[in-house]
Each structure stands twice: as C-alpha cells, then as structure tokens.
Amino acid sequence: MSITRRLTLAAPALLLARAAAAQPAWPTRPVRVIVPFTPGGAADIAARLLAEKLTPVWGQPVVVENRAGGNGIIGTDLVAKAAADGHTLACTSIVHAVNAPLYRTPYDVLKDVPAVTILYSVPLVLVTAPDLPVSNLGELIALAKRSPEKATCVGTGGLYCAMFNMLAGTDIEQIPYRGSTAAHPDLMAGRVGFMVDTMPAALGHVQSGKLKALAVPSPQRIASLPDVPSMPEAGLPDFIASSWGALLAPAGVSPTIAQKIADDSATALRAPEMRERLAALGAEPVGLGPDEAQRFVTAEVARWTRIAENAKIEKQ
C-alpha cells in the first residue's frame, strides 16, 4: 500500500484522535457546588439530589457546600471568583436575578456567573404563623393596613415584599434573613408576619400545621396544596411569580464543559426517581442548555428590574 493510500485511510482516525485530544478532560477532581443559602431550601435540596446522580456519572465526588449570606451574594461571589475550569459551580434560585436590581453585587449577575442550565421550576406559597389572626389573604391585607407592625414580611426574595406592598396598597416592613429556612422559626413563633416561600421549603411545615398557607402566586391552584387558593382567587390577580433553580459557572468555562454539565444534569433530571423526588417537593424538572438558560436568566433580570423601578427601590 502506498504512503498516500495509507495516509488517506488513516486521516479520519487522525482527525478523530485530534478532536478527542482537543476536548478538555473534565472533571479531574471533585466538583464543588456552592449553594448560597442555608440548608433545607429548594436550591439546597435540588443540589443534593443532583449530586447523588452526577457523582457516579462524572467519576468524581460532587460536593455540596452551603455558603449563606447577603441574600445569596456571598456564596455566588465565591463562584464568580473561582477558576473557570468547571470544578466550582453555584446552585442558586430566582434570588440571583432579583439581586441584580436590588444590590451592588461584587460581580456582574449575567456576565461573571453565566447560567449553565435551569434545573427546575417551583411554585411559591404565601405563608404565615398559624396563630396570626387571619384566615385568608384579604384579612392579611386588612391587618397590614391596620397594624403593619403585626404583618411584617420576611425578605429572602427581595422583591416579593415590595411586590406585595405595590399590589396590596400596604406599607409593611421587610425583615431580612440569610435564607428562608433561617426565617422559619421566627415565622412559626409569630415574630414576623408572613413570607412568600418556595413550595419545597414550606410544604412540610404547612402540612404539619406549623405554618398556615393563604395563597399561591400562580394562575391556578397547585396540586400539592389543592385547598389553598391562587392569588387571582384570593384577590391579587397580578401577584404571579414562581421560583426556579439554576447551575451557574464562572465566566470563561469551556463551552464543551458547560454543555456537558447541562446535558448530564438534564439526563439526571429525566430519571423517573429524580422526577418523583422533585415532584414530592412541588418542583418540576426543566433542564435547559447553556444558551437557553442564559437567555432565561437575562429575561428574569429584566423583569425584576422593571418591578424594582416601578416600586422605586434604590439599589443598595
């Protein structure tokens, strides 16, 4: 066989070998997933479920770390400043987009920690202490107008309290907490009035009677709380919102690695047992790719920026 003939036959194999060599080897060490909130919330639960599924797929431990504080900013900043090699990720929530118009973050929400995938969407629920003397949303609004000190709002999502004030015509105080689960003891004890929380974080407490659900900010009722009215039914038809979870990576991560993270996460989310565990928490798997995920977060930032501007909230 001539040299030319041998090279011609070998060319496809050489191209495949070079393409394989060009692909970055990943992961080469444990993958850290920073949850910038306290344990027990939707993002934390989803991160731990995902870590169980991805550890055997990636052949490296996927380690979840809680770095709460600053409305999610402290933990997210760690990821923004991490090496752009895909070994440090953030599992965050809608709070990430809400922070953009509220705070002067040490990172650019969209440029420095781009979204790799959207993991899930999850409904919200407005909850109060069981002893708060209200039985529906109308009574809560009346209490907030009559005695605003009794109807303070837990401010873990930033703009939910402002949105309530704007739509209900109230002027209640927002009480900041490091995360929704950190606020639960004070909420249950009646030291704060109410909060808009994610279904996974609040559902167990509602079912056990430790919290009282007044409404869900969705167009229709939610299957996990069928007796709780939607916001349109309860009297605030424009109070429609839902939370979501996303994996973020430092800017500059290889598109190949970002796509692999998104693809493997989507595969894990489609597993029947994963869907069942998320459904039990009131969450629905999504699994967007990097480009779609970044477009989604960009749209969410624009949406909450408009709400903040309408509420005349100055960036802190």
What is the structure's pLDDT at 110? Answer: 97
In a domain, 2, yes or no: no
Q: Average model confidence (pLDDT) for the chain?
A: 89
96 pLDDT above the threshold of 90: yes
Contact indicator for 34, 75 with CB cutoff of 8 Å: yes
In a domain, 54, yes or no: yes
Domain boundary among 190, 210, 234: 234
In a domain, 103, yes or no: yes
Question: What is the chain's Cα-based Rg?
Answer: 22
Domain boundary among 189, 213, 234: 234
**Chain segment 6-42, per-residue pLDDT in tens:** 434 455 544 444 444 455 689 999 999 999 998 988 8
In a domain, 17, yes or no: no
Percent of the chain past pLDDT 90, that is, above it, reads: 65
Query: Count of CB atoms within 10 A of residue 111's CB?
Result: 9
Same domain, 70 and 37: yes
What is the structure's pLDDT at 162? Answer: 84
**Chain segment 49-91, per-residue pLDDT in tens:** 999 999 999 999 999 999 998 889 999 999 999 999 999 999 9
Same domain, 110 and 130: no
Same domain, 134 and 118: no
In a domain, 7, yes or no: no
Same domain, 212 and 146: yes
Chain position carrying tokens 């605003």:
148
Same domain, 212 and 252: no
- Which CATH number characterizes residue 129's domain? 3.40.190.10
| φ, ψ (nearest 5 deg) of residue 213 | -90, 130
In a domain, 199, yes or no: yes
| φ, ψ (nearest 5 deg) of residue 197 | -120, 165
Contact indicator for 91, 265 with CB cutoff of 8 Å: no
Q: For the chain, what is the domain count?
A: 2
In a domain, 4, yes or no: no
Question: Exposure of 285 by Cβ count < 10 A (0-12 exposed, 13-18 middle, 19+ buried)?
Answer: buried
Same domain, 143 and 282: no
Same domain, 118 and 72: yes
Contact indicator for 181, 42 with CB cutoff of 8 Å: no
Among 71-80, 107-116, 180-189, where is mean pLDDT lowest?
A: 180-189
**Chain segment 158-178, per-residue pLDDT in tens:** 578 888 988 999 998 888 887
Domain boundary among 185, 202, 234: 234
Same domain, 67 and 106: yes
2 pLDDT above the threshold of 90: no
Compare 2 and 236 and report the one with higher pLDDT: 236
Same domain, 163 and 218: yes
Most confident of 106-120, 121-135, 194-208: 106-120
Same domain, 62 and 113: yes
Same domain, 112 and 127: no
In a domain, 16, yes or no: no
What is the structure's pLDDT at 4? Answer: 44
What is the structure's pLDDT at 156? Answer: 56
Domain span holding position 152: 123-234
Same domain, 265 and 201: no
Most confident of 80-84, 99-103, 216-220: 80-84
